[in-house]
Amino acid sequence: MGAPDAVFDNPFGEGTFGPEVKAEYLETFGDPIRVHAICEEYRAAASLDIEHDKIDQQESRRITCPMLHLWAAGGPLDTFYVEDGGALGIWRKWANNVQGQAMKGGHFFPEENPSDTTTLLKSFLSA
């Protein structure tokens, strides 16, 4: 199905993780049902989710559970939403308890930086 190699070699950066991890991703992205689900997630984010967000805002609904937001250091989220206080600022408009930080690594920072990612996740989940 398609060319899943292209997703992981470019634009996300060839060589960001080992061949065994890449093989797992390629297998996953070779399954038409999974690819369809991923496309539906992106479609919803660009359409239905926006409608739901507007309703939640109008009704002053907030995320009340603790939230951890991690993103790749040096990536777009380091510069997006500056007027909103950055990546965490945008979520603080929606949630009461937001924690997070930029992580060393690229788009696939959990695979590129598993030790730091695991440490933060364990700390967050055990709190």
Inform me whether the pLDDT recorded for 1 exceeds 60.
no
In a domain, 32, yes or no: no
Residue range(s) defining the domain that contains residue 114: 62-127
Query: What is the total count of domains within the chain?
Result: 1
Asked if the structure places residue 115 within a domain, the reply is yes
pLDDT digits (tens, 9 = 90+) for 70-86: 999 988 888 888 999 99
The Cα 41–Cα 56 span in angstroms is 19
Contact 85, 92 (CB under 8 A): yes
Tokens 């930080």 locate to 101
Residue 31 φ/ψ region, left for φ over 0, alpha for ψ in the -120 to 50 degree band, beta for the rest: beta
- Asked if residue 110 is part of any domain, the answer here is yes
What is the reported pTM? 0.81
Q: Would 18 be classed as within a structural domain?
A: no
For 22-52, what is each residue's pLDDT tens digit? 888 888 888 889 989 989 999 999 999 999 9
Any domain includes 7: no
Is residue 89 one of the residues assigned to a domain?
yes
